[in-house]
Structure 1
Amino acid sequence: MTSTASISTVPMNNGDSLDPQVFASVCAMASLASKAQQPLAKASTEAKNELLIGIAESLVEHAQEIESANELDVQDAFASGMDEGLIDRLRFNIERIASTAQGVRDVAAQPDPIGEVVRGNKMPNGMRLTQVRVPLGVVGMIYEARPNVTVDVASLALKSGNAVLLRGGHAAKRTNAATLKVIGAVIAEHGFDPALVATVDGFGRQGATAMMQARGYIDLLVPRGGAGLIKAVVQQSKVPVIETGSGNVHIYVDASGNLDEAVPIILNAKTQRISVCNSAEKLLVHRDVAERFLPVIAKALALADVVLRVDESTYDIVSGLNNGSGVDGLDMQHAVEEDWDTEYLALKMGVKVVDSMQEAIDHINAHSTGHTEAIIAEDYSAIEEFTSAVDSAVIMVNASTRFTDGGMFGLGAELGISTQKMHARGPMGLQELTTTKWIAYGTGQVRA
């Protein structure tokens, strides 16, 4: 799985040794976070909601300061030659700050998962069992150039009774510092310890490495960023990891698909925001509709400045238009094998003609990162087969892949999109930041 221009946030098995003092400092921060988390875990839903509303209001109040810090980060990013898609993720202007603050309010409006009874029963000996949701404890987050994640993670952690340690990366250092200053002040104003939301950014890459080694201090680690970062954390971490995958996202247009409906869906999925993991990267078209549909979608994508990397069948159909002159303004090249595994995060799309839906399913399962796939179809049996056979976290039916998002799914915000199968899969919200404990109520029972 390949991603464009990923920021180097953690060592990539390069032999860097971890400074013992940095490790000790990060473990100490995690210990303080754990101590601060204990009263939060017992706090009422009302108290947590008031804290979140206070954070949302303060973010809006200090939006100009945060935007000014972000402008300096963006200037440095331009000067360093950062990829356009990553710069788009890095931007945190007043409009985006307001949207993120609304996300905090949405998290406050969510049901509190803590204390929820998952299941229970009465044993034959009269003991009463209940399994209830409880916080995870101290959550670590390693991410790249995404200032909104700082706020999203903090709000989800606080509402679910967790503390969080953050490594937000060098590219967003000023933005994250300004944002965390606001959040920390509100936490203190509400009578909680600001150690609940802390950053290891001051330790640079060593801070990220220390987090990965801090087993017993950090309960869960979540990487969020490019494929390189995620792979490094998964491979190197001693702390349990939830893998949030990159998005080599596919759209399959079935022979039964509504082709008029397919065009705006594909355009939205590819171009609405190119730098995010739920944007579409690959288009598979059934051969029965390829000659009718490919010229239409190729023209639409050309108008949107999308570059195509295509198989032979697609190339022959599209290049044969207009007496061999092809589509005006379209940059189309033959795909190489690497294209089918690449998350472009750019105005670029791989296109392939398939002979059957089974071929589409096989191709997706072979090349997908397990994030999101979509089918455009009217045949109910085709839809059922696709949704049951494709092994990804989210399947969209006749809708844009851009809807794979915690906010869109009604979770208020998201920690990330999990592409693994244990504990959490898909958009992670409040429930995914909890574990459970069993409580057994007895009246003096002993085991024979």
Structure 2
Amino acid sequence: MVIEDARAEVRRIAEAAKRASGALAQTSSEERNAALAAMAAALRAHVPAIVAANGRDVEAARAAGTKESLIDRLMLDDARVEAMASALEDLVALPDPLGTVQDERTLYNGIELNRVSVPLGVVAVVYEARPNVTADAAGICLKSGNAAVLRGGSMAARSNAAVASVLHDAAVASGMPEGCIGLVASTDRAAADELMQLHGVIDVLIPRGGAGLIRHCVECSKVPVIETGTGNCHVYVHATADLERARAIVVNAKCRRYGVCNAAETLLVDEAVAEAFLPLALADLRERGVVLHADERAADVAAAHGIETVPATEEDWAAEYLAPEIAVKCVKGVDEAVDHVNRFGTKHSEAIVADPDVPAGSAAIEAFIARVDAAAVYANASTAFTDGGQFGLGAEIGISTQKLHARGPFALEALTSYKYVLRGDGQVRA
């Protein structure tokens, strides 16, 4: 009975979103921007209630023994709610992604052809422990004229309910259609599975979370899925690298925030600079409490300088730790680094640190950029920049690691499709 109730709830919310999507597609940019501004104001007006609901989620998560890195993803305070509101206002400032003429031409028969951007329709987002996704997804969907069906994880259930209720009520009060933002309250797996079956009602499903969630959606969904992949990101320090620059990049990529998908999870170091670089970088990481899963060569260098490591296993090379842990491996140049990244990486974000002003460094950078298969490839910068806001795209639903339709930060343009509009004066085809 509980499972049937969950499925019925999903169908009701999805069908309401389908009805809303038609009206949303007809709204003007000014109307949608006014709704976003109202949603931002409503978040600010309800900070105490949102933070209180989140506090109950955090308390329950801690009581269940949840890792602190995941608690960090879950937690909302005044500053984080303000950041959510500011992100909605940032969307207001962005250009309208709808109604853009992407191509125009006059055909041989005199028909005027335009290709025009339009909403996808109903976007379902299935996510886990980050309640800020509720606001980001709702905002980006509304800005792009899409209805949103949101299904968060059980850990953030109270937080998501508080945020979604505030956002929906503010949007409707400002003139958006009822059902434009729907939250599936049930955290039963049957609810997510039902969403995946609603082909023809849901236009696209976007999973945002761990590898297990994403794999389940890809394997089981009848609705088209856009993967926002896990982030086993690498930083490769080339033989020509400026070691002080490399130290700063490694620490930032790993330690800025542990529980995010653009954090570095593996450090690859050219054997030519292992003796010079590893004692510096590994000491930096250990000072910050990072556990070092080192291969034999890296472990030997670390031991010679009194730095504690643990032996790396094959599983470590594929691990997305989302925690103060990192795998460390020495490689014999850019070819081995690229091979390792392409074997174990998740096609998210990869970085090389090398000197672009010397031939060997420049060649290594260009080889790395050309051959690494990832949504974002960096030369001499931290992987932490893979983010819609940092790319100037505004809020994002996630980082797409697939190649069809969208890749990288999944922002406004990625939530549109297009239609061909043809204007004639009586032409008929022979």
TM-score (norm. length: structure 2): 0.96
Cα separation, 1, equivalents of 2:377 and 2:293: 24
- Residues 189-230 of structure 1: CA distance to partner in whole angstroms, max 9, x if unpaired? 112223100111236322111101111110000000111111
CA distance in 2, matches of 1:345, 1:118: 40
1: CA distance, partners of 2:70 / 2:387: 18
Paired residue for 1:345? 322
Amino acid in structure 2 at the alignment position of 1:148: N
**C-alpha distance after superposition, 1:27-76 (max 9, x if no partner):** 23222111112222111111111110111111011111100100000000
Aligned residue number for residue 5 of structure 1: none
The answer to whether the 8 Å contact 2:266/2:327 transfers is yes
1:377 aligned onto 2:354: yes
Q: Which residue identity lines up with residue 213 of structure 1 in the other structure?
A: Q
Residue in structure 2 matched with residue 419 of structure 1 by the alignment: 401
Alpha-carbon distance in structure 2 between the residues aligned to 1:298 and 1:22: 49
* Residues 54 and 159, structure 2, Cα contact 8 Å, conserved in 1: yes
Question: How far did 1:333 drift?
Answer: 1.1
Give me the whole-angstrom Cα distance separating, in 1, the residues matched to 2:421 and 2:5: 40
- Alignment match, 2:184: 200
Q: Does 1:276 align with 2:260?
A: yes
- Residue 22 (structure 1) shift: 4.0
Which is further off, 210-219 or 196-205? 196-205
The answer on 1:332 being equivalent to 2:314 is no
* 2:410 match: 428
Q: How many residues are matched?
A: 425
Q: Is the 8 A contact 1:121 1:128 kept in 2?
A: yes
Q: Which amino acid aligns with 1:104?
A: L
Give the structure 2 partner of residue 386 of structure 1: 368
Secondary structure class of the residue paired with 1:439: strand
Partner of 1:79: 63
| Structure 2 contact 31–175 (Cα < 8 Å) conserved | no
Alpha-carbon distance in structure 2 between the residues aligned to 1:399 and 1:343: 20
Q: CA deviation at 1:154?
A: 0.4
The 5 Å alignment of 1:15-414 reads 19=3, 22-202=6-186, 204-321=188-305, 326-327=306-307, 331-378=308-355, 379-414=361-396
Look up the SS of the partner of 1:230 in the other structure. Answer: helix
Asked if the contact 1:166/1:199 (under 8 Å) is kept, the reply is yes
Cα offset, 1:440, TM superposition? 1.2
Residues 18, 209 of structure 1: 8 Å contact kept: no
- The alpha-carbon deviation at position 100 of structure 1 amounts to 1.2
Identity in percent: 48
Query: How has the CA–CA distance of structure 1 residues 222 and 18 changed in structure 2, closer, same or farther, with 3 Å as cutoff?
Result: farther
Distance in 1, matches of 2:50 and 2:264, equals: 31
Q: Distance in 1 between matches of 2:5 and 2:328?
A: 51
Kindly provide the CA deviation profile for residues 91-116 of structure 1, in whole angstroms up to 9, marking residues without a partner as x.
Answer: 01111010111111111111111001
The secondary structure found in structure 2 opposite 1:195 is: coil
Question: Please, which runs of 5 or more residues in structure 1 have no aligned partner?
Answer: 1-16
Give me the whole-angstrom Cα distance separating, in 1, the residues matched to 2:295 and 2:113. 58
Question: Contact (CA 8 Å) 1:213, 1:237: kept in 2 or not?
Answer: yes
Amino acid at match of 1:316: D
The CA distance in 2 between the partners of 1:68 and 1:28, in whole Å, is 29
Give the AA of the match of 1:352. Answer: K
Residue by residue over 1:158-216, the C-alpha shift from the partner in whole angstroms, topping out at 9 and shown as x without a partner, is 00000011111111111111111211221121122231001112363221111011111
Contact kept? 1:169, 1:201, Cα under 8 Å: no
Displacement of 1:149 in angstroms is 0.2
Distance 1:414 1:359 in 2: 33
Q: Counterparts of 2:61 and 2:219 in 1: how far apart (Å)?
A: 28
Query: C-alpha separation between the residues in 2 aligned to 1:203 and 1:396?
Result: 37
3-state SS of paired residue (2:234): strand
166-175 or 358-367, which moves further after superposition? Answer: 166-175
Gaps of 5+ in 2: 356-360
Q: Which residue of 1 aligns with 2:358?
A: none
Q: Letter of the aligned partner of 2:409 in structure 1? A: P
> SS state of the match for residue 343, structure 1?
coil
CA distance in 2, matches of 1:18, 1:55: 32
Instruction: State whether residues 10 and 184 of structure 2, in contact with CA within 8 Å, keep that contact through their aligned partners in structure 1.
Output: yes
**What SS does structure 1 have at the residue aligned with 2:148?**
strand
User: Does the 8 A contact of 1:253 with 1:285 survive in 2?
Assistant: yes
CA distance in structure 1 between the partners assigned to 2:177 and 2:67 by the alignment? 38
From the superposition, tell whether residues 19 and 64 of structure 1 become closer, same or farther in structure 2 (CA, over 3 Å).
closer
Taking structure 1 as the reference length, the TM-score comes to 0.93
Task: Write the letter of the residue equivalent to 1:410.
Answer: G
Q: Is the 8 A contact 1:156 1:413 kept in 2?
A: yes
The two structures, once aligned, show a CA RMSD in angstroms of 1.4
